Amino acid sequence: MSLQAQDSLREFTLASGRRAFFHSLPALAALGVGDVSRLPVSLRIVLESLLRKLDGQRITEMHVRQLAGWQPQAERSEEIPFAVARILLQDFTGVPLLCDLAAMRSAAARFGKPPARIEPLVPVDLVVDHSVQVDYFREANALDLNMKLEFQRNAERYRFIKWGMQAFETFKVVPPGIGIVHQVNLEHLARGVLQDGDVYYPDTLVGTDSHTTMINALGVVAWGVGGIEAEAGMLGQPVYFLTPDVVGVHLKGRLAAGVTATDLVLAVTELLRGAHVVGKFVEFFGEGAASLSLPDRATLANMAPEYGATMGFFPPDERTVDYLAATGRSDEEIDAFRRYFQAQQLFGMPQAGEIEYSETLVLDLASIVPSVAGPRRPQDRIALTALKPRFSELLRKPAADGGYGKGAAVASGRALADGAVLIAAITSCTNTSNPGVMLAAGLLAQKAAARGLTVAPHIKTSLAPGSRVVTDYLGKAGLLAPLAQLGFRVVAYGCTTCIGNAGPLDVDIETEIAARELVCAAVLSGNRNFEARIHPALKANFLMSPPLVVAFAIAGRVDIDLDAEPLGMGSDGQPVFLREVWPSQDDVAAALAQAADPETYRRLYRDLGSLNPLWGGIVADRGETYGWALSSYIAEPPFFADFALTPPAPKPVRGARALAIFGDSVTTDHISPAGSIKPASPAGLYLQAQGIKPADFNSYGSRRGHHEVMMRGTFANVRIRNLMLPPGADGRPVEGGLTLHQPNGAQMAIYDAAMAYQAEGTPTVIFAGEEYGTGSSRDWAAKGTRLLGVRAVIAKSFERIHRSNLVGMGVLPLQFQPEDSAAGLAGDETFDLEGLDGELKPRQDATLVIRRPDGGERRLRLTLRIDTPVEAEYYRHGGILPYMLRQLLA
């Protein structure tokens, strides 16, 4: 007989004496499937979902046996259909996803089908946290003023979200002003284990924010996907992924005094980027992992996208149980959590030799030193003591080598100079869930203020706690006042500076930066510091712990040796050094007592809908389908405009032109910025043509529900460099979303060239280097690429989520062979793609034919980065959205 789901059902007993059931992994040996006790814990949790959802159709016995027989060094060719327990959205990615669902319902109605057939089949939570901007920051009522502006700017979007709440039964919303999505998930939404009747199973999810991985700290298997994949998961499709390698990271020893979890994270990010863990699971283990608090683990798990891994997973243990208790989960939930994982033989931190990994890396926590990372990438760690010489080196280095090409720094005695700090933000989300570093920031502020230190008024300071719980414990510890005294007032509960919502700088400051070409800095406690993400005027952005953010704000510059130079002069006229105000471990431990009160968590998360009267005042449409009205925020997406029940055959790519040629590390921020919209950009000109003034533009992120804005914003980052363009008059690379339209070579905006090529019937391709699409799981980086008419992206390598999103939008991702690249292309060539007609096979070969204007021809072998059979099927349908709609309407 073949294996059935019920074959693995076993029983365990709860503390109450009640019988509970679970799909037993230890039982697989007796069932003839195999002993899985040495498999990585994360894979065993995925395996449980296959057992539980085994239906012989989408999930088969073969899938179970393949994963149960996982070998550490095997070649990866099988795909896993992972049925997650729930879906998590934030509003920047959630609104376009909701637009797609609403458009599907409209399309269903046009075909005479019931619109309600389009309905999430798993629970969905949307946390509204990305729409607030730091406009006010030193005012006593900055929080209230920023929130009022947020509701003014986003009323149309919020009405749409509220329509979604009533239209879809399984769609719930956490309103603005509660906290950032990952921290709300960690503190409240995640329950550890879930139940269906008497059957218990682990909490698992995918989220439309790449930092969904923060929840890995709680023993929850989860990662970030594009909204395109999340939609499939919502509508009952498994999330398909290639069976992964699992890298074990053996953490040994303990962190030294004065070293923070942030310093550990930056070291791990550097280590794992160097180990090339892209597309792999990372699982932490060992005595060092066991010693880390749950918030320290969450800080490490959060930055999995920065080190490139699919996950940064910590197996569940007593620290996990302690955190569930401290954050207000019920006694019954905590008991079920412990007993379930014990029954599965998955409880406790594994030690060296207990699990087989594809590769094992070792890191001694005692070796970690205080660090920052930047100025452009999170993996570029700099020891704190080396920051001053490193910044000086970068100033002198030519721009072509990653420097600023400026020579020596301007003397830093002036307020505005190279290296001047202009934004200092304790910002969601990596560190703001961690009471240890948040309290350390408050204690440092307290000691600094007591010595008479201040922060210069031209520095934009902000404190954006990850949830209201943080404000509560900082207040109880008496630390909100000294933070506010140094300018770090609570400005918002949401993703602010790290997402590009830092808000404007003073106009005179921006003018001077531009006139003098200054390399000024932002210091922030978030996880992203890509070019132009934090603020378009700031070229140097450094990630660091919250207490270091306060320290650098006081110092006012990054070109400082904080070991040897004082932060400033105290009120007694004496120099004050960092070591004098740095909080001791005993100081932090004493303050931590304020951060573990279960009743506070229960009180602050009890009734989310009634906490914000502004949210209560939003009046929304009702009904199964959305009434698409004229709006510059919400529009019916065009993905189903020419929809047919039978997919047309994909057109061949012949005579294509290069829309752009990019170098390495092009991020989703470069492709689809989230921040401010320039008035002279294609998107800015479009909005002005609709009668919208620049003051009311809001941001690209807030307008992701409108395809006309977003396609014009694609490749519009002010720092993106198209290598087709000759250097400027000063010899430096030209920046901004520009290209050369061929064959005449006219320079124009990438959007304008794309529209011209579409009008001519000319297909286009994008060329790029290594790590194309790193960063946020941004649907519009793929959707915008598709709407511009790009048929293929040809790169040295792809980041995991963006590659998947390209396939999901019907764009071919193709990879150069290791010895090949786009080097030598001028951009005036034409291109054919051969070998892609007919049925596509995962990772098959293709040929790029390059034809130069002089008649010369070159042929390069490419690898098709459609990685799994289901992805080939998505591409055949023109993308995952039409595939899903055809499935639902069949």
| Residue 714 clears pLDDT 80, i.e. is over it | yes
**pLDDT level of residue 412 (50, 70, 90 thresholds):** very low
Question: By C-alpha distance, which of 281, 204, 284, 208 is closest to 243?
Answer: 281
- The span from the CA of 884 to the CA of 120, in Å, is 12
List the single range of 198-202, 567-571, 720-724, 727-731 with lowest mean pLDDT: 727-731
Strand 381-383 with 371-373, pairing: antiparallel
Q: Is the dihedral of CA 349, 351, 352, 358 positive or negative?
A: negative
Mean pLDDT of 743-767: 98
Distances (CA, A) of 270 to 275, 277, 569, 755: 9, 11, 35, 40
- The span from the CA of 393 to the CA of 154, in Å, is 43
pLDDT in tens, 206-245: 999 999 999 999 999 999 998 888 988 998 889 988 999 9
| Residue 112 clears pLDDT 50, i.e. is over it | yes
3-state SS, 414-475, equals CCCCCCEEEEEEECCCCCCCCHHHHHHHHHHHHHHHHCCCCCCCCCEEEECCCEHHHHHHHH
Burial class (CB in 10 A: 0-12, 13-18, 19+), 395: buried
Tokens of 550: 């306060």
Burial class (CB in 10 A: 0-12, 13-18, 19+), 621: middle
Q: What share of the chain is helix, strand, coil (3-state, %, to 5)?
A: 35, 20, 45
- The span from the CA of 412 to the CA of 391, in Å, is 13
Rg for the chain, CA atoms, rounded: 26
Contact 45, 316 (CB under 8 A): no
pLDDT in tens, 515-563: 999 999 999 999 989 888 899 899 999 999 999 999 999 999 999 999 9
**pLDDT level of residue 838 (50, 70, 90 thresholds):** confident
Q: DSSP assignment of 28-77, as one string?
A: GTTTTS---TTS-HHHHHHHHHHHHT--SSSS-HHHHHHHHT--TT----
* Residue appearing with tokens 């500076």: 497
CB atoms within 10 A of CB 566: 17
| Most confident segment among 408-417, 587-596, 631-640 | 631-640
Contact 704, 228 (CB under 8 A): no
Beta-bridge partners for 127: 90, 174
Mean pLDDT of 470-486: 97
Contact 448, 571 (CB under 8 A): no
Q: DSSP assignment of 276-324, as one string?
A: T-TT-EEEEESHHHHHS-HHHHHHHHHTHHHHT-SEEE----HHHHHHH
pLDDT in tens, 25-66: 999 999 999 999 999 999 999 999 999 999 988 899 999 999
Which residues, in sequence order, are CB contacts of 156 under 8 Å at separation 6+? Answer: 631, 632, 633, 634
Higher-pLDDT residue of 742, 226: 742
| Residue 202 clears pLDDT 90, i.e. is over it | yes
% of the chain exceeding 90 in pLDDT:
86
| Residue 768 clears pLDDT 50, i.e. is over it | yes
- The span from the CA of 179 to the CA of 260, in Å, is 23
Contact 561, 421 (CB under 8 A): no
Distances (CA, A) of 228 to 8, 121, 169: 33, 16, 20
| Residue 334 clears pLDDT 90, i.e. is over it | yes
Three-state DSSP class for 18? coil
Question: By C-alpha distance, which of 695, 703, 661 is closest to 679?
Answer: 695
Tokens of 429: 């989300």
- The span from the CA of 420 to the CA of 459, in Å, is 9
* Residue appearing with tokens 């989300």: 429
Higher-pLDDT residue of 424, 594: 424
Tokens of 414: 């002036």
**pLDDT level of residue 400 (50, 70, 90 thresholds):** confident
| Residue 890 clears pLDDT 70, i.e. is over it | yes
pLDDT in tens, 120-172: 999 999 999 998 999 999 999 999 999 999 999 999 999 999 999 999 999 99
Omega cis (within 30) before 743? yes
Q: Give residue 158's Cα distance to chain centre.
A: 22
CATH class of segment(s) 371-596:
alpha beta
pLDDT at 1: 54
Residue ranges of alpha helices (H) inside 767-799 are 779-787
- The span from the CA of 40 to the CA of 37, in Å, is 8
Question: By C-alpha distance, which of 807, 813, 806, 822 is closest to 860?
Answer: 822
Beta-bridge partners for 199: 21, 196
Mean pLDDT of 645-669: 95
The 8-class DSSP code of residue 10 comes to: E
Contact 676, 694 (CB under 8 A): no
CB atoms within 10 A of CB 773: 30
Mean pLDDT of 784-807: 95
pLDDT at 428: 77
Q: How many residues does the chain have?
A: 890
| Residue 413 clears pLDDT 50, i.e. is over it | no
638-889 CATH fold: Aconitase; domain 4 (3.20.19)
Tokens of 87: 């879906």
| Residue 411 clears pLDDT 60, i.e. is over it | no
Q: Which amino acid is at 256?
A: A
pTM across the whole model: 0.89
For the chain, residues classed under CATH 3.20.19.10 are 638-889
pLDDT in tens, 249-291: 999 999 999 999 999 999 999 999 999 999 999 999 999 999 9
Mean pLDDT of 421-444: 94
For the chain, residues classed under CATH 3.30.499.10 are 371-596
Burial class (CB in 10 A: 0-12, 13-18, 19+), 430: buried
- The span from the CA of 312 to the CA of 209, in Å, is 15
- The span from the CA of 756 to the CA of 357, in Å, is 51
Residue 47 φ/ψ, nearest 5 degrees? -60, -40
Question: Where is 476: in which H helix or E strand?
Answer: helix 468-476
Mean residue pLDDT of the chain comes to: 94
- The span from the CA of 320 to the CA of 767, in Å, is 45
List the single range of 18-22, 438-442, 502-506, 757-761 with lowest mean pLDDT: 502-506
| Residue 414 clears pLDDT 60, i.e. is over it | no
**pLDDT level of residue 594 (50, 70, 90 thresholds):** confident
Mean pLDDT of 763-789: 94
**pLDDT level of residue 408 (50, 70, 90 thresholds):** low
pLDDT in tens, 287-325: 999 999 999 999 999 999 999 999 999 999 999 999 999
Question: By C-alpha distance, which of 623, 625, 622, 621 is closest to 113?
Answer: 625
